[in-house]
Amino acid sequence: MARLEDFMGRTALITGASSGIGRLLALRIATAGARVGLVSRREPELEALAEEIRAGGGEAIPLVCDVADRQQALTTAKKAVEALGRIDVLVNNAGYGHHRRFLDWDLEDMERVMRVNFLGTLYFTKALLPAMVERGRGWLVFIASAAGRIAPADETAYAASKHAMVGLAGSLSLEVEDAGVHVLTVCPGAIRTPFFDDEALARLPAVARRQMAEPEDLVEAIMDALARGKRELTFPRWIASGYVAQALAPSFFRRQLKKHTVKDD
């Protein structure tokens, strides 16, 4: 168990850093003393974030990249190492998705969900993990989703991509922890970010809309989980009770999940 209690002198690379959870986490890690690499497709937002970090006395390197593109991802990972010297912490946060029925979901868009969420994660991890293992120290953070543990209706492609992330992180943790690399899998529920646009909010179960969590609270929970050496974080914590119900009373849990997530269109 590798605790990350002090970010001073560390370097971190955050994908999907231009907005939402990624942006807040980049600011928080930079404030804690780390030099940060910021990855996103949106250059203006990245530059603005980098300037905000620099204005606060931090160091930030904006790296424009579509994580779904294998060559871009590998090249960007190399540029990050060249700019920062090494990467101590990789936060695989870039995410994409919609809340739609499978029958209504365009196949090309479903493929992009998997490329961004899973393959983007795979590319950056493959590029940066070997050096961590060689140094005998590093941290990998996978921002997955509660949908990667409990698959609701209206999220087929998204849930599949996040299940893949959870599986990758869990298996990888077993492989590399004895080499000094710590893996934290984060499974947020509904968080109040731009990811939940009008379309998503309209299809989100009423109970989830009422209990949406604030992104700042999630970021603090991630920092705390790293400091304590946790391997898994579900946020808010009450969602984890669903994992127990799913395991112990699968038929009952399925009926409740269907009741709350299947829409009558």
**Inter-helix orientation angle 43-55/20-31, to 10°:** 20
CB atoms within 10 A of CB 50: 22
Contact 63, 76 (CB under 8 A): yes
Which three-class secondary structure state does DSSP give residue 133? helix
- How far does CA 10 lie from the centroid of its chain? 20
Residue 96 designated active-site: no
From 96, 123, 158, 243, the catalytic residue = 158
Listed residue (257, 253, 222, 235) closest to 22, CA to CA? 222
Distances (CA, A) of 163 to 102, 145, 182, 196: 16, 8, 20, 19
Q: Do the Cβ atoms of 182 and 136 come closer than 8 Å?
A: no
CA 138, CA 183: separation in Å to the nearest integer? 9
One-letter identity of residue 207: V
For residue 51, what are its two tokens?
Answer: 């300037």
d(CA 223, CA 32): 10
User: What are the CA-CA distances from residue 67 to residues 43, 98, 128 (Å)?
Assistant: 14, 18, 14
**Cβ(176)–Cβ(90) under 8 Å?**
no
What distance in Å separates the CA atoms of residue 34 and residue 24, rounded to the nearest whole number? Answer: 14
Catalytic residues: 158
